Amino acid sequence: MVSKLLALNAYPKLRDMDFRVLRGVELNMRHHRWVPLENVARFAHLDVETTSFRLGRLDDWGLVVRRSDMGYIGYQLTIHGYDTLAIRALARKKVIEAISTTQIGVGKDADVYVGITPSHEKVAVKFNRIGERTSSRKAGYHGKIFQNKRHTSWLYISRLIAQREYEVLNLLSPLAKVPRPIAWNRHTVVMEFVDGKELAELSDTYLDCEEAEEVLWRILDEYLKIVRFGIVHSDLSEYNVVLTRGEILIIDWAQHVTTADPESLEYLERDIMVLLNAFKRRWHVEVDFNEVWPRFKEAWIESRGGE
Ligand SMILES: Nc1ncnc2c1ncn2[C@@H]1O[C@H](COP(=O)(O)OP(=O)(O)O)[C@@H](O)[C@H]1O
Ligand SMILES: [Mg+2]
């Protein structure tokens, strides 16, 4: 489902003190499920009455939610409030100057919009939506990774996911065909805008069988390089490969694991199977799993120091 970036409706109406109030709610959420009004006021350097008034407006715009049945009045940041803080931070750091209200990418776990940099370049701005879409496999996966941490709020998890994706793109982009990362803030990653189409979006007749097979081998070669480097994607599919003019790019690295993780071999196997099946189903490309797998397994072993 395509959704509008709700944060942008409120954004032009916000004053500096509103950002301080939002930030006060955000920071206090580390220690409170529902942040007391007084804590927000103290953080924002405002009196309680003004803070309450500003929070009322932020509530109307969907940036915070209020609860008063606990013996005190408490607030939580919503995902739109979190978006607002990320957009503000990225704008202040001159990473983006503007952002479109219409979504470009509809993923399982993120909303992606086009941003414009101060030098008028187009960039992709990916807002993680994990925690909100709890049915996602990725949420389960990250839940597992972070289960040992004390704090597992969606704020914290979606921020860690953004950081992990930024970091792996930073490692991979000099050596492999993945989007170049530009910045991250909170739950948001800004990266090179890829002007192309996901394989899933291409019609069955867009490629003939021979062309499709060539594309498949290009993806496999690229992935082999990445596995040898020590990274497994863990969600490779026709949705996460983009075909641009003559190039392929592998996107959506939020749930990657390193080959040091013992389960990574299983994820790698699934990645290859999903990819081969997609090409078989869509374009009748018959590449046998056993023809491909030994090379990947070898690369996987090699990346772990050849055990
Ligand atoms: N760098 C990018 N440039 C252009 N479009 C992108 C970019 N990154 C993602 N998208 C679009 O947004 C969609 C969702 O992004 P993705 O990283 O796959 O997140 P999700 O975890 O939600 O699947 C992609 O399928 C693609 O259409
Ligand atoms: Mg995706």
Q: How far is the CA of 240 from the centre of ligand 2 (A)?
A: 5
Q: How far is the CA of 107 from the centre of ligand 2 (A)?
A: 5
Q: Which of 170, 179, 175, 182 is nearest to 249 (CA)?
A: 179
138 and 162 Cβ atoms separated by less than 8 Å = no
Ligand 1, atom 1, lies closest to the CA of 193
What pLDDT shows up at residue 153?
Answer: 82
Give 58's strand partners. Answer: none
Catalytic hit among 83, 235, 252, 271: 235
Query: Does ligand 1 come within 6 angstroms of the Cβ of 110?
Result: yes
Map out the domains of the chain with their CATH numbers.
7-80 (1.10.10.10), 99-192 (3.30.200.20), 197-303 (1.10.510.10)
Ligand 1, atom 27, lies closest to the CA of 105
Q: Is 195 a catalytic residue?
A: no
Ligand nearest to the CA of 115: 1
The Cα 25–Cα 64 span in angstroms is 8
* Tens digits of residue pLDDT in 127-179: 999 865 444 455 455 555 555 444 558 888 999 999 999 999 999 999 999 99
Q: In what order do the strands lie in the sheet with 122-128?
A: 98-106, 110-116, 122-128, 188-192, 181-185
The Cα 156–Cα 186 span in angstroms is 9
Ligand 1, atom 18, lies closest to the CA of 252
Query: Does ligand 1 come within 6 angstroms of the Cβ of 141?
Result: no
Query: Does ligand 1 come within 6 angstroms of the Cβ of 179?
Result: yes
Ligand nearest to the CA of 195: 1
Tokens coding 205 = 């007749």
What pLDDT shows up at residue 117?
Answer: 97
What pLDDT shows up at residue 49?
Answer: 98
301 and 232 Cβ atoms separated by less than 8 Å = no
- All residue ranges of the chain with pLDDT < 70 are 1-3, 131-152, 307
